[in-house]
Amino acid sequence: MKVVQSWDDGVVDDIRLADLLRRHQASATFNLNPGLHHAGRSFSWRYGDKEVWRLSRDELIEIYAGFEIANHSLNHPNLPDLSPTDLRREVQDSRRILQEWFRQPVRGFCYPFGGFNPAVKEAVRAAGHVYARTVTECEPILPLTDPFEFGVSCRFVDPSFWTRYEHAKASDGVFCFWGHSYELVDEAMWAELEDKIARIGADPAAEWASIEALF
């Protein structure tokens, strides 16, 4: 079974997350919005009692070194609402900028808010991506009928995480979990995530992969 994980939005808690994943030699995909990273870290919103900050432009390369970077659009709009011109800009310019920044191919896309329609899918494909991740939960994830509707197994905090993991393992399929590191609001949650990562790493039937490696 291949295990992939997908983390969205490029927030400051990704620093701790990326360190944790490196310690466990776990692959991951980070979905970024290049239009929302500025010279300094920027306050984005509140998540409960917590302030969510985006990383600064200059620290991205070092923080995400070694991980798959995927395009999450330029500014995180709901893509089905956009005009064709704005849609192209959000999808195509964003991919170009990420490839310039990271000097690596950006092959994946992740729909902001999970929002897509046929025009959005076509814009993502035309911009050179090979897959696009949705927030649709499905079992099994593969085989795909459409690489621009790549589904997920569950969120990282899903109570049925291990049940779904075992289902994917039983069919030697793919297990994909996703989330945002800002959802980790206390030490107990960080410890629980680290336990999951360690347990997957110790499972001889599981192999970490990037999402792009599935295509």
Residues binding Zn ion (CB under 5 A)? 8-9
Q: Which is nearer to Zn ion, 1 or 79 (CB)?
A: 79
Length of the chain: 215
Q: Which is nearer to Zn ion, 33 or 153 (CB)?
A: 33
**Minimum separation from the CB atom of position 115 to Zn ion (A):** 10
**Minimum separation from the CB atom of position 74 to Zn ion (A):** 12
**Minimum separation from the CB atom of position 102 to Zn ion (A):** 18
Q: What angle do CA 33, 190, 153 make, to 5 degrees?
A: 60
Q: Which is nearer to Zn ion, 9 or 183 (CB)?
A: 9
Q: Which is nearer to Zn ion, 8 or 14 (CB)?
A: 8
**Minimum separation from the CB atom of position 143 to Zn ion (A):** 26
Q: What is the 3-state secondary structure (H, E, C) of 93-114?
A: HHHHHHHHHHCCCCCEEECHHH
- For helices 187-201 and 14-23, the axis angle rounded to 10 degrees is 30
Partners of 174 in the beta sheet? 2
Give how far the C-alpha of residue 213 lies from the chain's centroid of Cα atoms, to the nearest Å. Answer: 14
Say whether the peptide bond before residue 147 is cis (omega within 30 degrees of 0): no
Q: Which is nearer to Zn ion, 45 or 215 (CB)?
A: 45
Tell me how far apart the alpha carbons of residues 167 and 26 are, in angstroms, rounded to a whole number: 21
**Minimum separation from the CB atom of position 22 to Zn ion (A):** 23
**Minimum separation from the CB atom of position 112 to Zn ion (A):** 5
Of all residues in the shown chain, the one whose CB is closest to Zn ion is 8
Q: Which is nearer to Zn ion, 111 or 165 (CB)?
A: 111
Tell me how far apart the alpha carbons of residues 162 and 166 are, in angstroms, rounded to a whole number: 6
Tell me how far apart the alpha carbons of residues 101 and 96 are, in angstroms, rounded to a whole number: 9
